[in-house]
Chains A and B, each alone.
Chain A
């Protein structure tokens, strides 16, 4: 069945460091791909998405490109801030249902 694998955390960075969180998927066909973010005490929020190969999703300085050839959707940010500290989930969908990775906790220190 469909599955998502993302890098194990936790990840700890200093402010203004470069961030990469790896995500790969297994699915038949062409799923849509998502990154969700969960801030402490809050629900998951959609961060960005891409619906077809070579699409780049971007939001709040974060980017991820849908790579069909490597079945990947890695999340990147050039300069992280303390306020980016959260848990990040990679997910895929075909239709309504979402399949999530395990989540990666990011802590950014000043």
Chain B
């Protein structure tokens, strides 16, 4: 299947600092990217949906000024956690969806391996 990478795989930061997480589609063009958050023993919760070149659409309850999402190209989306606090510690997962064709099915999402964020 199509490959999605995330960087870094884990990060530790101090409270009050900002952290940027990158999500890349390595072998296809991602028209839509999704950012999820996963708490221990909980399901993945969709945070926002982003389309290349336009503003992200945030789910209810997600602070858009705290979780800045940029989808500047068809292969890269970034999530920046601004002024991070310990309650932002979590596992962040991105996924990407491309145009149907070849090995990519309509509306199929391809997931990155996730980024573990720990805020001290």
Taking Cβ atoms with an 8 Å cutoff, the residues of A that contact B are 4, 36, 41-46, 89, 93, 95-103
Contacts and interface: CB of A to CB of B under 8 A. Distances in A.
Given A43-B111, A43-B113, A97 B49 contact: yes
Contacts, number: 46
Contacts of B93: 43-44
Interface of B: 1, 4, 6, 32, 34, 41-44, 46, 49, 93, 95, 97, 107-114
15 contacts: A4-B43, A42-B113, A43-B110, A43-B114, A44-B44, A45-B1, A45-B111, A46-B108, A93-B107, A98-B34, A100-B43, A100-B44, A101-B43, A102-B43, A103-B43
B23 to A, nearest CB: 10
A76 B105 CA distance: 24
B107 A96 contact: yes
Task: Report which residue of B41, B49, B95, B107 has the largest number of chain A beta carbons within 10 angstroms of its beta carbon.
Answer: B107
Nearest to A43: B111
B42 to A, nearest CB: 6
Task: Report which residue of A45, A95, A100, A101 has the largest number of chain B beta carbons within 10 angstroms of its beta carbon.
Answer: A100
Contact of B43 (A43, A89, A96): A89
Task: Report which residue of B41, B44, B49, B95 has the largest number of chain A beta carbons within 10 angstroms of its beta carbon.
Answer: B44
Contacts of B1: 45-46
A43 B112 contact: yes
A101 B93 CA distance: 15
Nearest to A103: B43
Contacts of A99: 46
A70 B95 CA distance: 30
Nearest to B46: A97
Given A43-B4, A44-B93, A98 B46 contact: yes
Given A43-B93, A45-B1, A89-B43, A98 B113 contact: no
